[in-house]
Amino acid sequence: MLEIQNKYGGKMKGCITLFLVILLGSFSLAQGLNGKWKGNVSTPNGDMELVFNFKATDASLTGDITSAMGSIPIENGKVNGNEFSYDININGSVFSNSGKLEGDIIKISNPMMEEGMILNRVSDKSKIDGKWNGTASSPQGEFKLTFTFAVDGNKLTGKNSSDMGEVDLTNGVVNGNDFSFDVDMGGMVISHKCKYMPDDSIEVKALVMENEMIMKLTRASQ
């Protein structure tokens, strides 16, 4: 037995590695289905908006579909790479559907649809999004700042407004409750490291000419 392992060990190790790559790749595609998706279906009374909530593993799919008429569960959901299928039961009638994940859209089809349906991912709004007010100190005294943040995945964009004008935020990165960005003030780049706090405030550490300035941001009233 030991002789066989020595002779074929390298080949077996390569096969195991290939198997793991395929398995993890399929798992990643399945996970890409997770979350909320929105689309419209045509009815005799006009278009109806549907919201799909998918929960996928490497081979199975669960979740539900919500419309103005209520919510129904997904049944017999199966995932195969970026393709999937499921059934829905409407008043005892079972309808089979198939779908395909293509980037940030899903194409749904069933025998009753002539053109199918396109679903777009629904992005949950980040708690960091919106306008925030703060006060900073300078040799000339305190001055007010307003930051406008917009989060898209792990990317942060927005603006910094003060009596000196308005500038865009650059190099914005989000990692959970922590995020960072730069502000270019006429050639002087000020780096900001921030943390969203449980009391719905943001703690900011700004590096100004090698000096750290700490401030607290509060959410601006709408």
pTM of the model: 0.49
Residue 138 in this model has a pLDDT that exceeds 50: yes
Residue 206 in this model has a pLDDT that exceeds 70: yes
Among the listed residues 147, 177, 171, the one whose alpha carbon sits nearest the alpha carbon of residue 159: 147
Q: Which range is least confidently modeled, 10-19, 26-35, 65-74, 197-206? A: 10-19
Q: Does domain 29-122 have CATH number 2.40.128.120?
A: yes
**Could you tell me the residue ranges of all domains in the chain?**
29-122, 130-219
Q: What is the pLDDT of residue 30?
A: 53
Long-range contacts of residues 147-150, Cβ cutoff 8 Å, at least 24 apart = 147/217
Classify each residue of 73-107 as buried b or exposed e, where b means 16 or more C-beta atoms within 10 Å of its C-beta.
ebeebebeebebbbebeeeeeeeebebebeeeebe
In CATH terms, are 29-122 and 130-219 the same topology? yes
Half-sphere exposure of 218 (CA within 13 A, CB side): 4
Task: Locate 91 and state its tokens.
Answer: 């008043």
Identify the CATH number of the domain defined by range 130-219. Answer: 2.40.128.120
Q: What is the pLDDT of residues 81-129, one digit of tens each?
A: 889 999 999 889 899 999 999 888 999 988 776 778 999 988 778 899 9
